[in-house]
Structure 1
Amino acid sequence: MTVQDNSAAGTATHGVILTEAAAAKAKALLEQEGRDDLTLRIAVQPGGCAGLRYNLFFDDRTLDGDLVRDFGGISLTVDRMSAPYLEGATIDFVDTIEKQGFTIDNPNATGSCACGDSFN
């Protein structure tokens, strides 16, 4: 994995993409709660029937080794242990009659469980 350094401050970034729709939804959720001190964090954790599962949530913590990237005013944070599993992943927000919510398209996932909740 290559860590990019795109700022003069030396902040390490990650290769996860947050679409405009997902950034807009995250921003709307934060505005609804009156919070501007949170970051959107995605992590990979052990669990689920396929072995790994995503955890996407708002967080007020900063962990040692966090990789941060800004998307339209939303900071997307990935911890250093999850970054290799998420390199090249895209987080989107869909709002259709069939489905509503955040989706994660991860080219590193070689398979998933039948319920779609975890991957390997």
Structure 2
Amino acid sequence: MTAPSTNTGVILTEAAASKAKALIDQEGRDDLALRIAVQPGGCSGLRYQLYFDDRTLDGDKEDNIGGIRLVVDKMSTPYLLGAQIDFADTIEQQGFTIDNPNAGSSCACGDSFN
């Protein structure tokens, strides 16, 4: 798969960007970025972390999408190329979702992958 033409390689949908912007606006801070990272852990080996961060790490890749700064650290970038972050608000599902074409398999809860 070809990586999207972004610095981070991650796709942030309009719905996810809008929700993240609303949450940051609610905090009343303009120094926060939406950070996605991959960490060891979970039942499948690697676990996603998605959170607001006011830090800048050496080697960070950054995109500005819909008024949101999306940041990925240099170690997580290869695992997240082509991943899409969306926000669902339905009866079946509510919250941020991550669809990652690099995940060979994932656990039932969708919190980790390998």
Tell me which interval the TM-score lies in, with the shorter structure as reference length. over 0.9
Cα distance in 1 between the residues matched to 2:86 and 2:20: 10
Q: Provide the residue aligned with 1:55 in structure 2.
A: 49
Which residue does the alignment assign to 2:32? 38
In the other structure, the counterpart of 2:104 is: 110
For 2:60, give the aligned amino acid. D
| Structure 2: distance between partners of 1:114 and 1:76 | 27
Return the letter of the residue paired with 1:110.
Answer: G
Letter in 1 for 2:28: G
- Structure 2: runs of 5+ lacking an equivalent: none
Match of 1:67 in 2: 61
For 1:69 and 1:116, the matched residues in 2 are separated by 25
Aligned length: 112
Counterpart of 1:94 in structure 2 is: 88
TM-score (norm 2): 0.93
Tell me what 1:78 maps to: 72
Shift of residue 115, structure 1, vs aligned partner: 2.5
CA deviation vs aligned residue, 1:92-116 (integer Å, no higher than 9, x gap): 0000011100000000000011232
| More deviation, 109-118/66-75 | 109-118
Deviation beyond 4 Å, 4+ runs, structure 1: none
Amino acid at match of 1:55: Q
Measured in 2, the distance between the counterparts of 1:49 and 1:25 equals: 28
Q: Secondary structure at the match of 2:23?
A: helix
| Letter in structure 1 aligned against 2:68 | I
CA-atom RMSD in angstroms: 1.6
Partner of 2:17: 23
Percent identity, please.
Answer: 76
